[in-house]
Amino acid sequence: MLSLDLSGKNAFVAGVADDRGFGWAIARHLAAAGASVRVGTWPPALGIFTKSLERGKLDQSLPGGSEWAPTKIYPLDAEYDAPEDVPADVSENKRYAGLHGYTISEVAAALAHDLSGEGSGRLDILVHSLANGPEVQNDLLDTSRAGYLAAMGASAYSLVSMIQRFGPIMSADGAVVSLSYLAAERAIPGYGGGMSSAKSALEGDTRTLAFEAGRRFGIRVNSISAGPLASRAAKAIGTIERMVDYYAQNAPIQRELEADHVGAAAAFLCSPLAAAISGETLHVDMGYHAMGMIADTDLLTED
- Of the residues 157, 191, 247, 288, which is catalytic? 191
Residue 181: active-site member: yes
Please answer whether residues 104 and 81 qualify as being in contact, where contact means their C-beta atoms are separated by less than 8 angstroms: yes
The span from the CA of 43 to the CA of 128, in Å, is 16
The span from the CA of 162 to the CA of 272, in Å, is 22
10-14 vs 36-41, strand pairing mode: parallel
The span from the CA of 136 to the CA of 192, in Å, is 5
Residues in the chain: 303
The span from the CA of 258 to the CA of 206, in Å, is 24
Residue 191: active-site member: yes
The span from the CA of 104 to the CA of 130, in Å, is 13
The number of beta carbons lying within 10 Å of the beta carbon of residue 289 is: 16
The overall longest dimension of the chain from CA atoms, in Å, is 72
- Of the residues 80, 102, 157, 181, which is catalytic? 181
> Hey, which residues are catalytic here?
181, 191
